[in-house]
Amino acid sequence: MSMLWTRTPTPRSTIGSPPVAPSSPEAGRQPAPPATPTGRLGPAAADGEGGDRGGTDHSGTDHSGTDRGGTDHSGTDHSGTDRGGAGTTVAAAALVGLLLLPFLPLVLASLSQGYFHPQLLPETWSLRAWRLVLAPGAGTWVALRDSLVVAAGVTLVSLVVAVPAGRVLGTRSFRGRRAVEVVLLLPVLVPGIAVAIGLHVTFLRLGLAGTLPGVVLVHLVPATPYVVLLSAGVFANADLGLEDQARTLGANRRQVAWSVTRPLVAPGLAVAALFGFLVSWGQYATTLVVGGGRVVTLPILLFASAAGGDTAVTAATALVHALPAVALLVATARILGRDVPTLGGAR
């Protein structure tokens, strides 16, 4: 059994493939914090070993998405993982189909009018809901703008604090590292409603309640830890030895940072930033309480719409809310996909 552990499964090019983007919380939260939830696979994954996080994949990325000829370990057929035929494909397709099924009534409802039971396909197709939702004066645009502004603010601030912190967490071993990781993990796990309730009165007194900056601040609570811990993973996996080599060759610090470090970590940090963005994008409870109804982001608008009886409009609003998130995910995947060979490929 001990054989299993000596082989320290290094998550190579973890940031390589279509990243697992989280919406509200999890996907980013996952095994990345190796301290508390023990992500380590075993004693061989010792501290300080270039920050090997013992096999737990930071961004839970899936390599199969970008099978870059040969980087896939289990690509070749092993009897241990019987490569399935059409049967497994069908089963997997059914699984995926089930997961995507809920979007179907959403799309259908958005394109219909009077879509009551028992109509399976709408009797009356109509663009009314989309026209209402996308109308120039509709609340959708304001909500979209506010959601974007807040999420961008959250992403920016968390990146700024996450880069130095992540570098240190990912590459150095020091006393108290585990404690830091725990401290960073808690805000992600604690219910947002509790945090929002806790902060609200103070924000009221500070005049932050009902303002965009106030909402940005409260979103930072769940978002920053994600970005920090993911950045840690990025730095852990980056081949930072190249920095020393560059310096040996005479490059000064700025040149090193720009020409060596940046290409190494930028794609991964982009993923971390994406996570931060998505955490903020999907926040409801925190925006509801701290925004005080005055800051209307897309989740707030969507919820109000769901309570408002016009199912078609609600469905259309939901799709508007979902689109940027999915688009961002796809875009990042494409960016990262291109850079995979340069990313930790040396490992």
Partner 1 sequence: MSALLSDQVRRWSRDDTVRTWARLAPALVLVGVLFGGAVWSASSRSLGVGAIGSPGPSLDAYRRLLGDPEFWPSVALTTHVAVTSTLLSVALGVGAALLLRRVHFGRRSLTTLFQFNLPIPHVIGAVAILLLLGQSGFISRLTAGLGWTAAPADFPALLYDPYAVGVIVQYVWKEVPFVGIVALAILRAAGDDLETAAATLGASAWQRFRFVTLPVLLPGVLSTAIIVFAFSFGTFEVPLLLGASYPAVLPVLAHQRYTDVDLANRPEAMALAVVVTLIVIVVVLVGAALARRAVRRAGA
Partner 2 sequence: MAGGPDPRDWPAVLAAADGTTVDLHMWGGSTEINAFVDEVYGPALAELGVELNRVPVADTADAVNVVLGELEAGRTDPGSGVIDLIWLNGENFATMRQADALLASGWAEHLPNAAFVDWDDPAVAFDAGRPVAFTTSPWGSAQFQFVADTARTAPQELPRSYAELAEWIRANPGRFTYPAPPAFHGTRFLTQWFHELDGDPDAWVEAFDEDRYTEVAEELFALLEELAPALWRGGATYPNEIADLDRLFANGEVDLTFTQLPAGIGANIDAGVLPATARPFVFDTGTIGDHHYLAIPVNATDPAAAMVFADLVLDPVRQAIKLDPANGWGDGIAVSPDRLDTEQREAIDAVTAGLGDQAVPPAELEAVRTSNPGAELTVRLEADWDRRIRQGRTG
Q: Which chain residues interact with partner 2 by CB under 8 A?
A: 112-118, 124, 126, 128, 132, 135, 137-139, 201, 204-205, 207, 209-211, 292-294, 296, 301, 303-305, 307-313
Q: Which is nearer to partner 2, 9 or 139 (CB)?
A: 139
Closer Cβ to partner 2, 97 or 114, answer by number: 114
Q: Which does 21 bind (CB under 5 to 8 A by kind): partner 1, partner 2, none?
A: partner 1
* CB-based contact 336:270 (threshold 8 Å): yes
Q: Between 117 and 254, name the residue whose CB sits nearer to partner 2.
A: 117
The tokens for 35 are 């301290």
Picked from partner 1, partner 2, none, the partner binding residue 123 (CB below 5 to 8 A depending on kind) is none
Question: Pick from partner 2, partner 1, none: which does 209 bind, CB < 5 to 8 A by kind?
Answer: partner 2
Q: Give start and end residues of each alpha helix (H) in 72-138.
A: 86-100, 103-110, 128-134
Question: What is the smallest separation between the CB atom of 314 and partner 1, expressed in angstroms?
Answer: 6
Q: How far separated are the first and last CA of the chain, in Å rounded?
A: 25
138 binds, among partner 1, partner 2, none (CB under 5 to 8 A by kind): partner 2
Query: How many residues in the chain?
Result: 347
Binding partner of 197, given partner 1, partner 2, none, CB within 5-8 angstroms per partner class? partner 1
Contact 97, 70 (CB under 8 A): no
Q: How far is the CB of 154 from partner 2 (least distance, A)?
A: 21
How far apart are alpha carbons 146 and 265 in whole angstroms?
29
Q: How far apart are CA 94 and CA 9, in angstroms?
A: 31
Looking at the Cβ atoms of 80 and 137, the one nearer to partner 2 is: 137
DSSP string, 241-262: HHHHHHHHTT--HHHIIIIIIH
